[in-house]
Amino acid sequence: MSKRNYVGALDIGTTTVRFHIIDRQGTTIASTAEKLQLLYPQPGHVEIDPDELWQLVVRVMRNTFMESGFCPEFIAGLGISTQRCSFTTWNALTGHHFHNFITWKDLRANKLVKEWNSSYQTRGLRIGSRLIYTFLREHRYLLMSGFKFMNSQITLRLLWALQNVQELQDEAKKGNALFGCIDSWLLYKFTVGFSEIIYSLPTGKHVTDVSSAAATGIFDPFAMNWSTLMMSMADQSASMFGSGCLNTGDLKITLGTGTFVNVNTGSKVHTSTSGMYPVIGWRIRGEVVYMLEGAWNDTGSIVEWAKRIGLINQLAETVDIANSVKDSEGVFFVPGFSGLHGPINDYTAAAGFIGIDLTTRKAHIVRAMLESIVYGIVLIFEILTRETNHSYNKIRVDGGVSANDFVLQLIADLTGIMVERATSTEMSILGAAFAAGIQCGSTTVGKIINNAANKFLTPVTLELGGKSPVYIDNTADLEISVKRILWGKCVNGGQTCIAPDYVLCTEEVQNKFIEKAKQILKEWYTDK
C-alpha cells in the first residue's frame, strides 16, 4: 500500500506562516506556525524580505516533519495558499531578487495612483470603454468604463519599482527580470534543481496560478491567457474552496488582517461599477470558477493597533467590553489605516474617531471599533445584493476575527442573514490542501468539501447487520468509556463500524454518563 496518503498545505498569511500535514479525510495530522515579520522602512512602505520568507517556510515545514515523525515521501502533493498582490522581482540569470516583497498593504504608489486616475489616458479609457460597451455589450468594457487604479493592485506599485530600483531597470532592459507574487517566488524556489545547488545556475520554474494572477490588476480574467501551475492558490480562493462555497451564490467573509467578502459567481465573470471586482476563484481540470470580491484592508490590523496602544489585551475580551454598553454613544471609528477601499475608494483617508465627548468611555471606543468592521461589510453586502441576482440565506465566516461573537452577531443583525462560523478560522489552508488532493487524484476530497457545503444535513449511521449497542457496567472507567463512545459516534459523521446506536447501563451510571458526555463534547466543540 502506498505511503503517499497525505498532502501538505502551506499558508502564507500577512503575519503568519503555517504548514499542515493533512490526511485523506481532511484531518490535520501535524502542523507548525511561526510569525512572519513585516518591514516598515519608510512611512507607507510595507515589505517582506524574500530570503527571510523562504527560510521561514523551510523551517516551518522541516519542524512539522521532525516533530511529527513523518517523512516528505509520505506527501502526495503540496497545496499553497498565499496572500495576494504582494510581489517581488528577481534576476532570471542568477535568481537574485532586486528588492523586498512590496506587500498588498503598501502605499508607496499613492502619488502614482492619483496621477493615473486623473490622467487623460485613464479618462479616455473610461469614456472609450463606455462607448464600446454601448455597441458591443461585452462585459469587460462595462468593467473598464468604471476603472480606477488602486494601491492594492500591483500595477502602479510595479511601475514604482521600475522607476526607482536601478538594478531592476537595467536588467529589465536586457530582458533578464522576472516578476512574481509570493506563490511564484515560492514555486521558483521549490523547483530549483541540482544545477543551481552545485553550479549556481538558476533552474527554478517561473509560474503562477490564475487565482493569484487575476487579483494583480495585470491579468485579464476574461481572456484567461496566462499559463498556470494548479497547485498554488490565492488565499481568498483557497478560503472559499475550503469553506465549501462551491455553488453559484455562495457567500463567504474572511475576517483576517483585512476583510474580504466573496461571492461565487460560477462560470460567469460579474462586472461591477461600484468598487467590487471580479477575480478567479480556481481552475481545476479545465473548469473555471469566478468570484466577485469587495475588500477593506484594515480588520485584524485594527485589533493589533488597539492592543499595541494598550486599549485592549486580547480580541476575546472585546466581546464583554462592547456588550457592557447599550451602544457606542454616538462614537464612530473610521477604519482608514490603509485608506478606504471600494465602493468609497478614498486612499487619502486616515483612521480616526468621531463623536468623542467627555462622557465617552473605553467601552464606547472599543464597541465603535468593532462596529466599524461590520459597517464596512454591510456596505459591500448591500452592493452585492443590488448587483447580483442571488438570494443569500447564509454567510460563512472565517479568519482570526471571526472568533469574536459580537462582530458575527452584528453581521447577522444588520444583514438579516444567518451567519455560520467556520469550524476552523484558517479555512484557506484546508482549501489549498483540498485542491492539492484533487490534483493528486484523491477520491475523498470531493466528499469532504461536500460535507463542508452541507453542514446542516443530519448524518446517519449505516446499519450493517443490525443495531450496535454498547453496555457500560458500574465498574467501568467513565472518562475513558465516554470518550471512546463519543469518538466512535462523532468521527466521520458516525459513518464507522464502531459507531454505537444506543447505550445500555444502570440508572446510577446513566446520569454520570450524561454529565460526562456534556463535559467532553463541550471540550471538543465548545458551546458553539
The region that residue 197 occupies, defined by phi over 0 for left and psi between -120 and 50 for alpha, beta otherwise, is alpha
Distance CA 384, CA 372 (A): 19
Cβ 458 vs Cβ 450: under 8 Å: no
Distance CA 396, CA 244 (A): 9
- In this structure, are strands 332-334 and 352-354 parallel, antiparallel, or unpaired? antiparallel
One DSSP character per residue, 107-152 reads -TTHHHHHHHHTSHHHHHHHHHHHHHHHHH--HHHHHHHT----TT
Strand partners for 255: 259
Residues in Cβ contact with 344 at an 8 Å cutoff, skipping those fewer than 6 apart = 275
> Can you say how many angstroms the Cα of residue 108 is from the centroid of all Cα atoms in its chain?
24
Distance CA 370, CA 375 (A): 9
Q: Give all strands (DSSP E) within 267-312, no chain letters.
A: 277-284, 287-296
> Is 463 among the residues known to form the active site?
yes
Distance CA 497, CA 488 (A): 8
Residues in Cβ contact with 106 at an 8 Å cutoff, skipping those fewer than 6 apart = 44, 45, 46, 47, 151, 157
Distance CA 2, CA 109 (A): 51
C-alpha cell at 423: 469550524
Which of these is catalytic: 73, 463, 507, 523?
A: 463
User: What would you measure as the largest C-alpha separation in the chain, in angstroms?
Assistant: 85
CA-to-CA separations, 182 to 187, 418, 513, in angstroms, rounded = 8, 35, 51
Cβ 349 vs Cβ 340: under 8 Å: yes
C-alpha cell at 101: 516583497
Angle, helices 427-439 vs 235-242, to 10°: value is: 80
| Catalytic annotation, residues | 463
